[in-house]
Structure 1
Amino acid sequence: MNDDEVAKWLKARAIPLNGLKPGAGTADLASFRVALDGVRVVGLGEATHGTREFFLIRHRLLEFLVEELGFTTLAVEASASASRAVDDYVQGGSGDPGEALAGLGFWTLHTVEMLAVVEWLRDHNRTASRKVRFVGIDPQHPAASLDALRAYLGDDAPGLLDPLASLAAKRLGVGPPLDRRIEADARRVEDFLAGVSVPDEAPAHARIVCQSADLASRPLRHPDPAQTVSVARDRYLADNVDLLLADPDAKVALWAHNGHVMAGSHSGGSVPTMGLHLRQRYGEAYYALGVLFGAGRFRARRPRFGKVDPATPPVAFRVPFVRRPTIVEARLATAHPGDHVIDLRSGPRPEAVARWLGEPLHMRGYGAVARRFTYKLSYMPTVLAEHFDGIAFVPETTASTPL
């Protein structure tokens, strides 16, 4: 491979950013507009859930998408049930936004940086002709939906909802799966609501509970990958984005991990990602932007004896820069010394570039958990031409700031 040709191509396509501070304007992203022509969903990824700069760069990209391209919704890898409290706040409602973020059920979003995004949305919506929505798309943590359904169902609530009580406190990956009968119990609620007069919100809450019951009763691992939590979860994430796009004027900025926004499969190719579902359904109207870093700190939970205690707070990890040619970040660092975005989808590709984009590579990837002694060796495989339409790169990062 002609390394110089790849480096030259990346450098020519890099869109340098004038810092990561939100509110600095969108002029530096103007040339990125062409890459997003005709796009209705932009997946904004992250290599870790606990990196301050990933919140900042996606905040800046959100400002660009909303102010310049008319995006209408921020959809987040967060509780579809609990996110309604956050949306109420950004629409101008009362309440404590910090408490609303805590209610999402994910420590990863209970940060100073996420609070700044919420406050920006609220401020934007004060004068916007069309207010931007905040929507969770993850079926996990359905307690708010169970509470809402109890109010809608009245005297019928105990018989229908008591069998679902264990869903409120269930955490995926913690303890054994629930009995599969709980999914049938959740379907009974949906069927009951179909035959009575209730507000539109009631069937939506019932759908979330059904999805949650399905996930909570699936194993993490199974000889048939189609039976696992991961397969169903990514499909539900995509299904819930579908619901947002039922409005023909809707355009969605989608925040999730790189492993969800990429248009491929993970876990050895057995789990189609949310991004792959969206690519199959919307074609090039879906744009997958991976967000990567060169070196620095991030927060994650550390397992003890192979298990994660949800009550244990996350800790800071640090990874060094790696210069191996098969590591995507090593290539990106040659394109521009600072923060930048690169569109991989459009324009000509010299033969050497096409080969590089089409070959198996690796990139950093951490979820909510990182192992103490092996985390520096943690990478996710990728074929850039298949998985991502663009990349945002931050050379040096720091850990996100807990509220």
Structure 2
Amino acid sequence: MRIGFKITSVIILFCLCNVCGLAQRSLNLDFELKNYATSLPKRWYAGGEGFKVYMDSIEKYSGKWSLAMEKFGDTNGKFGVYTGRLPIEVLVGKNIEYKGWIKTNDVKNGYAGLWLRIDGENGAMLALDNMSNRGLKGNNNWTPVSIKMNVGQEAKNIDFGGLFTGEGSVWFDHLELYIDGHKFIDIIEPEPKTFIRLDELAKLQKYIYPLRTYEPDGGDTKDLKVLDRLVGNSKVVALGEVTHGSSEIFKMKNRIVQYLARNKDFDIFSIEANMPESYKLNDYIVKGEGDPRKLIAGMYFWTWNTEEVLNMVEWMHKFNQPKQRITFTGFDMQFYEGALKEISEAFQQNEGIASEVDDLKVELDKIRNASRQNKGMVMMGDTVKQKINSIITSLQHGINVSSFKTPEKIWLQKNIDIVQQYLGLNSYSWRDKCMADNVLWIKNQNPESKIAIWAHNGHIQKTDQKQGEHLAKQLGDDYVTFGFTFFDGSFTATGKKGLTSYDAVEAYPGTLEYLLDQVKEPVFILDLKKIKLDNNKETEWLLEQLEYRRTGAMGGNTIEFSESKISEDFDYLIFIKSSSPSKLLTEISW
């Protein structure tokens, strides 16, 4: 189970996105397609802390390459792994067999094997076989191994790969997949697109809207007038970011938020930060109460503790004078402290409820501390679960019978909901669902309002069970997405150097950003929605699987690009030539 959980963490971060119909693209089962940036197999995440992982052209079972892993000395509980994803839509209800050939040399204190995992709703594990009871040890020439599994109707994801948990050297090659006994024949994939033809460029220009600047300088906004048409009457606009630390992207989003507030009556802003703590910042936005720097830091994440976010907050405060015109909110649920504080302060004169809140915090602190030691959310025992549920039920009753007005009761019940969401946090898919639910809660409490959302590209996208997919299903055309990306530069992130600036991997041939750079516009909006609708031959490449940047909060990685259908993920894409690091307000370790 321990290995199974860690594998899941790797999958969440580096999974390969949807393969439609098992015939859209190669699964690269024989490791013959090489990733330009990493020199590792395309379509796979491959790595492991302390492990040397590489493609080997000398020791192989078939084709040009095998995937090799080496580790000498104490593994310290770490392991090497390669990870991919199978297309669930064509495998539900089928029997699958996953085969491969493995060679080992002096493997000890562990084993080498294949693994396959089936997940259900919200990332719940339905089945896992990691060959822990039959993995290869010692010295073995090329040996066939396999995993067989039935895919039930409740399956939502199927992830697979290989792992090496010990010391020595291991080679993987010639993977095969059988569906109900029939061998899957992998397709031969063409070379990636590396340049835009003149006729394609001419057609593409019709879907490009150059922007004057990304700076929220208060200057001419004629270039943003196109947003009137792109946003239309939609009430929820999501603004993404390809890293959590790109200054130009933050500034561009600030500029767009200002335009939407001034010209499109957007009166609620909601950020990817814990809900109760974000609402505290609204006290400064509206009433000027509190220190904005401390309130921003109180949202926990270094990602928002920047000059760029502070500048936006200060603008919002000024925009609300002499009357309120915009509200600052958040929709995340990764912490419980703020929610408990809201309840405790509301019932500070009620010793009974105050005592229950203290008891609940003790139990939650235990779970959090155990989760940090385990590097993942731990399962509650029945006794603890019953105790927590009993306290929560009592608190809910206390809120219901209190003398608070209805809005206060609704808010306190929402804070109970944040605690319950935190307790269920066991996967990114659960977090995305909860964040979507929280945005919908904000919208339902303010039915006449328009909301601007600030979050990572990976959350706002309309695919892959992300927050954006949940919102798109509920809101339809009322939900509009703007993804962001850049060609080169640097960004603030965490990594081996700590929290600091990291160089980005420059977009390379075959990536979306490499192609968009050929437009020779430093900042522009790409209308993916209309490209998809018009479906012209010259722009059909934008409707296919493309590698594009998907980074986040981690720096120093060679893997910053992965494949997806950008036209399915976002309605519009904002391209910025170069990124520079966001400017942190204080030194924070995270």
Considering the TM-score relative to the shorter chain, is it more than 0.5? Answer: yes
Aligned to 1:115: 310
Higher deviation after alignment, 84-93 or 390-399: 84-93
Q: Which of residues 423, 430, 436 in structure 2 aligns to 1:232?
A: 430
Deviation by residue 1:89-117 (Cα, 9 ceiling, x = unmatched): 11032211000000001110001110000
Q: Which residue of 2 aligns with 1:355?
A: 540
- Indicate yes or no: 2:537 matched with 1:339: no
Name the TM-score, length of structure 2 as normaliser. 0.59
Partner of 2:211: 17
Aligned: 1:70 with 2:230: no
For residues 207-261 of structure 1, the C-alpha deviation after alignment (integer angstroms, 9 at most, x for no partner) is 2343344334543xxxxxxxxx312211111111112222332111100000000
Match of 2:401 in 1: 195
After superposition, the Cα gap between the structure-2 partners of 1:187 and 1:14, relative to the gap in structure 1 and judged at 3 Å, is farther
Residues 67 and 173 of structure 1, relative CA distance in 2, 3 Å threshold: farther
In 2, distance between residues paired with 1:191 and 1:9? Answer: 62
Moved more, 56-65 or 174-183: 174-183
Q: Which residue of 2 aligns with 1:241?
A: 439
Report which of the two has the higher share of strand: 2
Query: When you count helix as a share of all residues, which structure comes out higher?
Result: 1
Q: State the shift of 1:171 in Å.
A: 8.5
Aligned residue number for residue 373 of structure 2: 175
Q: Residue 256 and residue 280 in structure 1: after superposition, are their counterparts in 2 closer, same or farther (change >3 A)?
A: same
Partner of residue 278 from structure 1, selected from 471, 474, 477: 471
Alignment of 1:43-54 (within 5 A): 43-54=238-249
Gaps (5+ residues) in structure 1?
Answer: 220-228, 266-271, 304-311
Answer yes or no: is the 8 Å Cα contact 1:35–1:346 preserved in 2: no
Structure 2 Cα separation of the partners of residues 121 and 160 of structure 1: 37
Distance 1:175 1:7, change over 3 A: farther
Is 1:104–1:141's contact at 8 Å kept on the other side of the alignment? no
| Between 347-356 and 76-85, the greater mean CA deviation after superposition | 347-356
Match of 2:290 among 66, 91, 95: 95
Alpha-carbon spacing, 1:38–1:135, altered in 2? closer, same or farther (3 Å) = same
User: Residues 137, 212 of structure 1: CA spacing in aligned structure 2 closer, same or farther, 3 A cutoff?
Assistant: same
What is the Cα deviation at residue 299 of structure 1?
1.3
When the two structures are aligned, how many residues end up with a matched partner? 375
Tell me, yes or no, if the aligned pair for 1:14 and 1:336 is still in contact at 8 Å.
no
Distance 2:421 2:453 in 1: 23
SS, match of residue 175 in structure 1: helix
Distance 2:416 2:538 in 1: 46
Aligned twin of 2:503:
318
The residue number in structure 2 matching 1:124 is: 319
CA RMSD, Structure 1 to Structure 2 (Å): 2.5
* CA shift for structure 1 position 158: 4.2
Matches within 5 A, 1:190-269: 190-199=396-405, 200-219=407-426, 229-246=427-444, 247-265=446-464
Partner secondary structure for residue 95 of structure 1: coil
2:319 aligns to what SS in structure 1? helix
Q: Partners of 1:210 and 1:46 in 2: how far apart?
A: 27
Q: Which stretch shows the higher mean deviation, 288-297 or 239-248? A: 239-248
Residues 72 and 19 from structure 1, CA distance in 2 versus in 1: closer, same or farther, beyond 3 angstroms? same
Task: Indicate which of 462, 482, 488 corresponds to 1:295.
Answer: 488
Displacement of 1:142 after TM fit?
Answer: 3.1
Pair 1:6–1:215, CA change in 2 (3 A): farther
Identity of aligned residues (%): 25
For residues 140 and 156 of structure 1, what CA distance do their matches in structure 2 show? 27
Q: Answer yes or no: is 1:155 the counterpart of 2:351.
A: yes
Does the 8 Å contact 1:51/1:400 carry over to 2? yes
In the alignment, the residues of structure 1 paired with residue 574 and residue 371 of structure 2 have an alpha-carbon distance, to the nearest angstrom, of 30
The answer to which structure, 1 or 2, has the higher relative contact order (CA under 8 A, 6+ apart) is 1
Query: Which of structures 1 and 2 has the bigger CA Rg?
Result: 2
Which residue number corresponds to residue 59 of structure 1? 254
Q: What amino acid is aligned across from residue 256 of structure 2 in structure 1?
A: L
